[in-house]
Structure 1
Amino acid sequence: MTTYSELSPSPVPHAVDRLEEATRAAAAFLAALGVDCDTESMARSPRRMAQAYAAMLTARPFEMTTFDNDEGYDELVLVRAIPVQSVCEHHLLPFTGIAHVGYLPGSRILGLSKFARVVELFARRPQVQERLTQQIADWIDGELAPRGVGVVVEAEHTCMTLRGVRARGTTTRTSALRGTLRDPAQRAEFLTLIS
C-alpha cells in the first residue's frame, strides 16, 4: 500500500511549519503596498494571510487505498464534481472549480474518496490548470495501471476575473485522456457522462 509520503511531494511541503516567517513576510509585503496594518482591524491580517496561503499550498496527508478487482468490473468508474482549489503560479491568485475523474479498471480499483485526495494532492501548490489535469491523469494511470483514464477540470481563475481583462464568470476546461479512453467511442461516453 502506498502512503502519502511516497507520493509526489508538494513543492511547499512545510508551509504550515513556517507561519512565523510567512507572517513577517506578509506584513512587509502589505507595508510595501502602503497597507496600514497598525489598526485594530488589520493587526492580525498578515498572520491570517500567511495562514490562508499555507492552507492553499498544503495538501492533507492520506493513505493510498486500492483493492483487487475481484469482480472483474470492466465498465467506466466516474467521480464527478470533485472540488478543485489551487493557486495560479503566475499571479499566486486562487482558481477554483471542479474535476471529473474516470477510469476503466484493470486488476486494481481505487477507494472512491481517494479521487478527491489525488486532486487535492496536485492542486495544493502553485499550478497551471493544464499541468494539474495531466498530473492527476498520469498519477492514476501510473498507480492503478487501468485500461483507461479521463480527467476534466473546469475552473474559474481569479487572475483573469479580478485583474487584467476582468472577464467575470469565465471558466476554463481542460482534459487529459489516457489508454482506451482516447478511443473515439469511449472518449464520447466519458465526456457525455460528465455533462
Structure 2
Amino acid sequence: MAKQAASRRRKPVEDMSGTGRPADLGVLQALVTETLLALGENPGRNGLLKTPERVAKALAFMTQGYHRDIDQLLNGALFPIEYDEMVIVKDIDFYSMCEHHLLPFYGKVHVGYLPNKKVVGLSKIPRIVDTFARRLQVQERLTVQIAETLKTKLNAHGVGVVVEARHLCMMMRGVEKQNTVAVSSSMLGAFRTQQQTRLEFLKLIRRSGVGTSD
C-alpha cells in the first residue's frame, strides 16, 4: 500500500501565490490509512472505517488557500476614494496549520492601512487572511504575507498587521503551556517609518489578548 501511495504522490506545492493544484484525496486517504497502521491501530474497526476519507477532506479544506488567487479575490473590490485616514479591521478570527507538526494554531489578526487614493472592500481583508492562513504555515510568514499583499495590491502608504495566536504544538506536546500567546507583527511603509502612525494603530487595536476578556 505504501508503494502504491508513493507512486501517486506529486511534487509538493511550492507556489505561494495561490495557484496550486487541488489536493489529491485518494493519495491522502491511502496515507492516512498507512499512518493508522503505523500507530498500531486497526483501520478496519468500526470507529476508523471512514476516518481516512474524513481526514483527507479535512486536510483539503484546511489547506484550500493554496488554490485561491488573490487577484481574482480582489477583482472589482478596489474603490477610488479621497480618504487618507487609517482603515482598521481587527479581531479577524483565523485557523491555520503549523508546518512543523501539522497541528493547528489559531487566534486573531488585526490589520490597518493608510489608503493611497483607493480602498478595498472590508470583507476582502478577512478573505485575504483566510487565503494565507488556509495553508501549512508559520505565524511569522503568515503575518508578512498578509501585510505585503495589502501593501502591493493597494499601493497603500503603509500597512500594519498584528497576529496573536495559540499553537497546539506548544499546548499538546513539547513545553505543554496552555496560556501562552505568540504575537507577531509586520509594519510596512508609514507604519514602519512613522512612530506616531504605528502607535496610533497599536492603540486602536489594543486588547487583552486571545481567549481573554477585553
TM-score for the superposition, normalised by structure 2? 0.82
Cα drift, residue 63 of structure 1 = 2.6
Q: Which amino acid aligns with 1:89?
A: E
Matched residue, 1:104: 114
Matched residue, 1:3: none
Cα drift, residue 114 of structure 1 = 0.5
C-alpha contact 1:78 1:100 (8 A) present in aligned 2: yes
Cα separation, 2, equivalents of 1:58 and 1:135: 16
Matched residue, 1:47: 53
Q: Which amino acid aligns with 1:187?
A: R
C-alpha contact 1:103 1:147 (8 A) present in aligned 2: yes
User: Secondary structure of the residue that 1:41 maps to in structure 2?
Assistant: helix
1:1-195 matches, within 5 Å, as 8-9=17-18, 13-15=21-23, 18-59=24-65, 61=68, 63-64=73-74, 65-69=77-81, 72-182=82-192, 183-195=194-206
Cα drift, residue 21 of structure 1 = 1.6
Cα drift, residue 108 of structure 1 = 1.3
Higher RCO (CA-CA < 8 Å; seq separation 6+): 1
User: Secondary structure of the residue that 2:161 maps to in structure 1?
Assistant: strand
Percent sequence identity is 44
Cα separation, 2, equivalents of 1:153 and 1:35: 38
C-alpha contact 2:78 2:118 (8 A) present in aligned 1: yes
Listed one character per residue, the Cα deviations across residues 16-44 of structure 1 (whole Å, up to 9, x for unaligned) are xx112211111111111112221112111
Cα drift, residue 84 of structure 1 = 1.4
Q: Report runs of 4+ in structure 1 exceeding 6 Å deviation.
A: none
C-alpha contact 1:13 1:58 (8 A) present in aligned 2: no
Q: Which runs of 5+ in 1 are unaligned?
A: 1-6
Listed one character per residue, the Cα deviations across residues 165-188 of structure 1 (whole Å, up to 9, x for unaligned) are 111121101000111112111111
C-alpha contact 2:84 2:117 (8 A) present in aligned 1: no
Q: Which runs of 5+ in 2 are unaligned?
A: 1-15, 207-214
Cα drift, residue 96 of structure 1 = 0.6
TM-score for the superposition, normalised by structure 1? 0.90
